[in-house]
């Protein structure tokens, strides 16, 4: 029984469609009504297409009545990050440089797979310009805010996706992650964000950020993330770098739990420093996993921060994007992006190769770690959400967004699967996320462990401005 369509998960909706308890039209109307109530404060959507969404929902309703669902997500209201091509809708990437009058005749692979499975596309959600940073504001779309406190950032660059899901404006969204862009906003807004192993979800067009870039789900539950992965991981011939399709359903594997699994707990990867409330929440999460039967060992990784190498790869890609718009583009982009490109300019081919060598060394260290441990547990972020409209917290000694998210971008360098799951709140009522990381191609194990944790706790039941949760992290 679904108590509230606004807060129903994708898996609940599909089950209710099958039983006839709920129709896709009702669920779509609920999502659109939530957008109408909340998005004026949140600014998660840059495009809403109510008419086409309701038409698609009516078609889905007819298929369910005939017992002929189109796929795994038939009738589920879905939003798409505005970095992904979506047939019939402009993809403007948060930039005034992009023209809405383009040839929008193609779906990105993730969008195509969702459409093929009957998902009801309700609109596109915000991104910073070209997805360049870890918060979501842009010259074209303005500031996206955190549903838990609208004076705070939702994070980024998939901030529109996370804010929409956190506020009940659709049960799930598809985002991208080149340095934490799925996990950062998931951690800040109290939802689930999963970055799969590179190549598990095909991408097209190829990202200018190269093999740092991943696509994946942002949802309220791990079950929904696994269900979306069953859809997104299907092949697409346009991505030459994608891996083979998984041979087993992710959703079917998430009940395996964590008993007997070895988990390395690193509170700081060897170089970070955490807000006390974050530290407390993540240590409590580690204990929950111990209570579930996992062997959790706190370790000192002693890693060196790979941020300098990451900057070479990341800002080289960002510069290439802007360069493609020709003379005068630098004067028309986000001034903070222009300043960042000036700070990180002049990289040579030798610099790129040196950065790649750092990446390879980190990948080796991570691979050896996973010979001893099944998973690595860290905070998603060392701090809670800070003031909206800023790239870095007030008083920061750095101008770079990477300075406050040290635990996410290393796993884009190594291409490992990593998930953020809500694990508590600060004293000020802001969400805290824990990150679980697995070996490359260990996606199912990451999802299974995250599902076990979420099943033993109640943080996923919290709702902005509605439902409070117990301070006891154990689900009753």
Q: Percent of the chain at pLDDT above 90?
A: 97
pLDDT at 218: 99
Domain presence at residue 139: yes
pLDDT band at 3 (very low <50, low <70, confident <90, very high): confident
pLDDT, average across residues 284-292: 98
CA distances from 168 to 34, 71, 217, 414, 470 (A): 6, 23, 15, 33, 21
- Rounded Cα distance, 201 and 235, in Å: 8
Q: Percent of the chain at pLDDT above 70?
A: 98
Domain presence at residue 475: no
**Does residue 55 register a pLDDT over 50?**
yes
pLDDT, average across residues 140-165: 98
396-427 pLDDT per residue, tens: 999 999 999 999 999 999 999 999 999 999 99
pLDDT band at 465 (very low <50, low <70, confident <90, very high): confident
- Rounded Cα distance, 308 and 306, in Å: 6
pLDDT at 467: 40
pLDDT at 2: 85
Q: How many residues does the chain have?
A: 476
183-228 pLDDT per residue, tens: 999 999 999 999 999 999 999 999 999 999 999 999 999 999 999 9
Cβ-based burial of 52 (10 A; exposed 0-12, middle 13-18, buried ≥19):
middle
Contact indicator for 91, 126 with CB cutoff of 8 Å? no
**Does residue 473 register a pLDDT over 60?**
no
Domain presence at residue 182: yes
Least confident of 17-26, 90-99, 224-233, 458-467: 458-467
Domain presence at residue 349: yes
Contact indicator for 222, 447 with CB cutoff of 8 Å? yes
pLDDT band at 468 (very low <50, low <70, confident <90, very high): very low
Q: Cite the active site residues.
A: 81, 157, 181
Domain that holds residue 231: 5-461
pLDDT, average across residues 248-269: 96
Contact indicator for 180, 412 with CB cutoff of 8 Å? yes
Domain presence at residue 68: yes
* Nearest CA among 446, 459, 454, 448 for reference residue 411: 446
**Cα distance between the two ends of the chain:** 19
Domain presence at residue 190: yes
Domain presence at residue 303: yes
pLDDT band at 65 (very low <50, low <70, confident <90, very high): very high
pLDDT, average across residues 354-362: 98
Q: What is the mean pLDDT of the chain?
A: 96
**Does residue 258 register a pLDDT over 50?**
yes
Number of compact structural domains in the chain: 1
Domain presence at residue 111: yes
CATH number at residue 399: 3.90.1300.10
pLDDT at 471: 40
pLDDT at 247: 93
């Amino acid at each position: 029984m679904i108590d509230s369509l606004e807060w129903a998960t994708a898996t609940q909706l599909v089950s209710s469609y099958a039983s006839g308890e709920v129709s896709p039209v009702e669920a779509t109307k609920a999502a659109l009504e939530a957008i109408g109530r909340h998005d004026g404060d949140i600014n998660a959507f840059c495009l809403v297409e109510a008419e086409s969404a309701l038409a698609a929902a009516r078609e889905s309703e007819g298929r369910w009545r005939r017992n002929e669902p189109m796929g795994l997500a038939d009738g589920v209201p879905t939003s798409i990050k505005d970095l992904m091509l979506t047939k019939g809708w402009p993809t403007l990437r948060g930039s005034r440089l992009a023209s809405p009058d383009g040839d929008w005749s193609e779906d990105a692979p993730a969008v195509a797979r969702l459409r093929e499975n009957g998902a009801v596309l309700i609109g596109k959600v915000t991104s910073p310009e070209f997805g360049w940073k870890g918060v979501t504001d842009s010259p074209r779309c303005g500031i996206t805010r955190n549903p838990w406190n609208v004076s705070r950032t939702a994070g980024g660059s998939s901030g529109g996706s996370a804010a929409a899901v956190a506020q009940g404006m659709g049960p799930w969204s598809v985002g991208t992650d080149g340095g934490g862009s799925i996990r950062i906003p998931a951690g800040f807004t109290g939802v689930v964000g999963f970055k799969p192993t590179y190549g598990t979800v095909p991408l097209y067009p190829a990202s200018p950020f190269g093999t740092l870039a991943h696509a994946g789900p942002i949802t309220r539950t791990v079950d929904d993330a696994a269900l979306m992965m069953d859809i997104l991981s299907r092949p697409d011939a346009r991505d030459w770098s994608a891996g083979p399709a998984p041979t087993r359903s992710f959703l079917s594997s998430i009940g395996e739990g964590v008993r007997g699994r070895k988990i390395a707990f690193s509170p700081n990867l060897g170089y970070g420093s955490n807000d006390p409330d974050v530290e407390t929440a993540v240590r409590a999460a580690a204990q929950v996993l111990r209570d579930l039967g996992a062997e959790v060992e706190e370790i000192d990784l002693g890693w060196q921060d790979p941020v300098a190498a990451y900057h070479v790869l990341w800002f080289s890609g960002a510069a290439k994007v802007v360069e493609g718009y020709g003379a005068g583009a630098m004067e028309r982009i986000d001034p903070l992006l222009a300043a960042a490109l000036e700070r990180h300019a002049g990289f040579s081919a030798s610099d790129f190769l040196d950065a790649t060598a750092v990446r390879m060394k980190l990948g080796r260290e991570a691979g050896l770690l996973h010979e001893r441990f099944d998973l690595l547990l860290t905070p998603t972020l060392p701090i809670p959400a800070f003031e909206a409209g800023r790239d870095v917290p007030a008083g920061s000694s750095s101008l770079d967004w990477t300075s406050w998210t040290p635990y996410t971008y290393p796993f884009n360098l190594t291409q490992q699967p990593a998930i953020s799951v809500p694990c508590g709140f600060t004293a000020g009522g802001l969400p805290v996320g824990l990150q679980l990381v697995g070996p490359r191609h260990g996606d199912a194990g990451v999802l299974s462990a995250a599902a076990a944790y979420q099943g033993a706790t109640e943080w996923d039941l919290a709702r902005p401005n509605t439902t409070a949760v117990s301070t006891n992290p154990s689900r009753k």
